[in-house]
Structure 1
Amino acid sequence: MKVFITGGTGFLGRHVVERLCATGHQVVFTGRQRATGEAIAAATGAQFVALDLALDLSGALATVTLTEAMHNAEAVIHSAALAAPWGDWQKFYDANVVATQNVIRASLAARVRRLVNLSTPSVYFEYRDRLNIRESEPLPRVPVNHYAATKLRAEQAVAAVAQQIEVVSLRPRALFGPWDTAIMPRLIKVAASGTLPLLRGGAAQIDVTWIGNAVDAVELALLAPQLKSGSVYNISNGEPLTARELFARVTAALELKVSLRPVPYRLAATLAGGAEWWADHVTHREPRVTRYSLALLAYSQTLDISAARRELGYHPTVSVNEGLQRYAAWLRTAEGKSATN
């Protein structure tokens, strides 16, 4: 099968490119990072198209350019996105909404059979504990941040064409593994100080997902012989851990010597709010910590993945512990060291 992948130089996207090439598919992928894209293409045999969907595809030529790149593709996997806890609304809108609209129009013009959209469970987030969230549950009236708001709009745009093309959206939770640029690197950086903060006693239940399991879900959505067009699926490892347990397992796997220090959540959130104000009005740079990033460690958010199990045949095959061991082993390789320096 010929598959067109956006965001193939990103964390999840590159793993999808590697998997599909390894299983015999013909892959064409886009990405913002030219050097990374060329390296992935050389290693996998995939075709790389250097393209930033937000910057390079504005205006009337967007659909034409993408349609040409999708020539003869049977399926599209849309992984490109701007994912961050803070930033300018227009940048999020261009990267997550406009880019998705362009991908949809091009997919229709190229007569692609199926579009797999990679979304986020951030659309569920509220500043309260939420356990076993189902895809059908009502979403917050106001999304928690620009990222969640624009990814939800992208999902809605995808769902709107469910009668014209087979579409599905996946909401993978807290990915970790080789080439992670967010969760683990940030955690390791904080741990380097010798302490990790425990908010609300470290009791928050946290769902995470080994990158290989997420790729399994993407592959299942891509190849499912029958698909409920317009469906949305939660994806995680299905083994929630408390923040305290997660910290303990991560630090043990990575052989980090740290102590856990209780920190009053209200105080931390107030300081984070101040940092956001300073970033908004003075530095115009992402603050070191945001209220949202703190809340992810303070409030429980776990997903019900029974729909993905039942309808896609998704079953996490790599446990959190095994995933952490694999990630630790990768960090010790030359590739891992160069990626994290």
Structure 2
Amino acid sequence: MAPVPSLPKKSLGKVLVIGGCGFLGHHIVSLLVTSSSTTSSQISVLDLHTTRNRRPESDNVAYFDGDITTLSSILPIFEKVKPDVVIHTASPTLAGGSKAMYQKVNVEGTKCVIEACQKTGVTALVYTSSASVISDNSSDLINADERWPVIPPKAQTEYYSQTKAEAEALVLAANRAPASPKLLTVSIRPATIFGPSDVQLIPAMINVYRNGQTGFQLGDNQNLFDFTYVENVAHGHLLAARALSATSQLNIKPLDHERVDGEAFFITNDSPVYFWDFARMVWKACGSTLGTEHVWVIGKDAGLALGGLLEWGFWLVGRTPKLTRRQVRYSSMTRYYDISKAKKLLGYAPIVGLQEGIERAVGWFMEEAKKEEEKKGQ
């Protein structure tokens, strides 16, 4: 585990975490509460529903229910909290929303958040984008950095990524904008987040293990991939918030090669791993003792052909198959990033290593499953 950068402890003032009861959001809130390097005079959470992932009352975190897609819903909360820093993480998941929902929340909701920031004197806005904004979901990304272009809408095959890119553009355009010259903004692009309370990656891999399906592999497993532990992503957000807060106190605009405001940053574990090796690390943490002798490798081309047939056949009966062309492409592509910019300008380094992150995540899900079994037995 890498040490946390030895920066002096500083206060961010009043911090409002939007989506603070979600997967990433509540980890950001927890790190704000427990961090030894960052403090806040007041921590508030704005979410559509604030009933889950709440901190203990002793932590004095204020919770507000609000809909970011309606300015009239969130503006009174901003006026009451008067945040100095806003961290905006709210979004449907990659596999959990419709096109209409992605557009409404990611784009229209972000417009409302920006306007609320401008109307209430917020000085720092940190937005959670996605590393997928530069991926067309077919071409390999090898050590890609922030100089790589965002995929234009006509070439983007994932509408989630398209709306994330649109929202990011809105946020970065709001940096030092005439409507509120003191508002500084930054975009964080995490790559494939996992961890405790993950709703997509780790639960799916655990289910594969429990169903005895670890003997299948799509592709030749020569594709390096970035997976990022959630606490590292939270850490990156807080470093960005600190950098914006420090910049806002300067009387001069930083030089282009030094500036954080108006910029985007990739955040990863800085440990790319072969895709199926990561899966097997998860299965080993679950208790698997199997190697690769039992594995049946389905080549990428064969997998795409099979996925296409299954999609067509299941479409006829109004269902979705367990194997799709999207899954084949995702598990066969190379996709890892160069985070030198975040290291240099944010002082970022992962604080939880990949192996430790996997063990923490699997351990959390195992404990939750144990609790559920105990409830059933009562």
TM-score, normalized by length of structure 2?
Answer: 0.80
Superposition deviation, residue 111 in structure 1: 0.5
**Corresponding residue SS for 1:219:** helix
- Counterpart for residue 295 of structure 2: 260
CA distance in 2, matches of 1:114, 1:336: 41
Question: Does the alignment pair 1:116 with 2:126?
Answer: yes
**Corresponding residue SS for 1:115:** strand
Measured against aligned partners, the alpha-carbon deviations of 1:267-312 in whole angstroms (never above 9, x if no partner) come to 43345456666888874x8765543343221100001100000000
Describe the shift of the 1:331–1:162 C-alpha distance in structure 2 as closer, same or farther (beyond 3 A): same
Q: CA RMSD in A?
A: 2.7
Question: Does the alignment pair 1:234 with 2:266?
Answer: yes
**Corresponding residue SS for 2:55:** helix
**Contact preservation (8 Å) 1:74, 1:112:** yes
Describe the shift of the 1:290–1:106 C-alpha distance in structure 2 as closer, same or farther (beyond 3 A): farther
- Counterpart for residue 145 of structure 2: 134
Question: Does the alignment pair 1:51 with 2:70?
Answer: no
Describe the shift of the 1:105–1:250 C-alpha distance in structure 2 as closer, same or farther (beyond 3 A): same
Identity, % of aligned pairs? 27
Superposition deviation, residue 139 in structure 1: 2.7
Superposition deviation, residue 19 in structure 1: 1.3
CA distance in 1, matches of 2:65, 2:91: 15
CA distance in 2, matches of 1:269, 1:231: 37
- Counterpart for residue 105 of structure 1: 115
Superposition deviation, residue 41 in structure 1: 5.6
CA distance in 2, matches of 1:90, 1:154: 14
Describe the shift of the 1:280–1:233 C-alpha distance in structure 2 as closer, same or farther (beyond 3 A): farther
Question: Does the alignment pair 1:291 with 2:320?
Answer: no
Mapping 1:145-164, distance limit 5 Å: 145-163=158-176, 164=181
**Contact preservation (8 Å) 1:62, 1:102:** no
Question: Does the alignment pair 1:35 with 2:65?
Answer: no
Superposition deviation, residue 244 in structure 1: 2.9
**Contact preservation (8 Å) 1:11, 1:181:** yes
Greater displacement, 25-34 / 212-221: 25-34
Describe the shift of the 1:113–1:334 C-alpha distance in structure 2 as closer, same or farther (beyond 3 A): same
Superposition deviation, residue 120 in structure 1: 0.3
Describe the shift of the 1:125–1:247 C-alpha distance in structure 2 as closer, same or farther (beyond 3 A): same
CA distance in 2, matches of 1:90, 1:66: 26
Higher-Rg member (1/2):
2
Greater displacement, 162-171 / 138-147: 138-147
- Counterpart for residue 72 of structure 2: 61
CA distance in 1, matches of 2:59, 2:296: 44
CA distance in 2, matches of 1:277, 1:86: 22
Question: Does the alignment pair 1:144 with 2:153?
Answer: no
**Contact preservation (8 Å) 2:202, 2:361:** no
**Contact preservation (8 Å) 2:66, 2:73:** no
**Contact preservation (8 Å) 1:166, 1:230:** yes
CA distance in 2, matches of 1:16, 1:277: 42
Measured against aligned partners, the alpha-carbon deviations of 1:126-148 in whole angstroms (never above 9, x if no partner) come to 30222101111123332221100
Counterpart AA for 1:2: K
Question: Does the alignment pair 1:303 with 2:322?
Answer: no
- Counterpart for residue 169 of structure 1: 187
Kindly tell me the number of residue pairs found equivalent between the two proteins. 333
Measured against aligned partners, the alpha-carbon deviations of 1:57-116 in whole angstroms (never above 9, x if no partner) come to 2xx6256345335x3210000000012247532111001000000000000111101000
- Counterpart for residue 200 of structure 2: 182
**Corresponding residue SS for 1:29:** strand
Describe the shift of the 1:195–1:279 C-alpha distance in structure 2 as closer, same or farther (beyond 3 A): closer
Unmatched 5+ stretches in structure 1 = none
**Contact preservation (8 Å) 2:67, 2:74:** no
Counterpart AA for 1:319: G
Unmatched 5+ stretches in structure 2 = 1-12, 248-258
CA distance in 1, matches of 2:370, 2:139: 36
CA distance in 2, matches of 1:304, 1:240: 10
